[in-house]
Structure 1
């Protein structure tokens, strides 16, 4: 004669369901927290990339200004040498 599977008592089933619902709630909260963290991380990466671009532009500008200063310094040296009567190179 086949035996029927025992059915859990309603209290056991409801406490199991409550535990499952609590776990599901926790998982959803964790998922939402991680999504926010991901959004924040992506914003930080975008900010970092923007700062890197600005830094590269600033370095290029500094290099341009340094070349211009060197050119003007050489011109000033030639003018001073002429004013002293020295032959210019």
Structure 2
């Protein structure tokens, strides 16, 4: 196994949650992301931070795959 294969294996294990033991008491990532979104909205309202220009939301589609929804899609023209 060369260095690149080892790196890819480690990344794959990390994605699958196999590098450290998983705590069943941890909240789902979706709940954490929603709390972060709410906190950012509060800070924007208090004018402590600026609103993201290209805010996005990760969601699970009907096909059970994950997608990213952009609030302001970037349109590229050629």
Same fold (TM over 0.5): no
Q: Which has the higher contact order (CA 8 A, sep 6+)?
A: 2
Give the TM-score normalised by the residue count of structure 1: 0.26
More helix by share: 1
- The structure with the greater share of residues assigned to strand is 2
Structure number with larger C-alpha Rg = 1
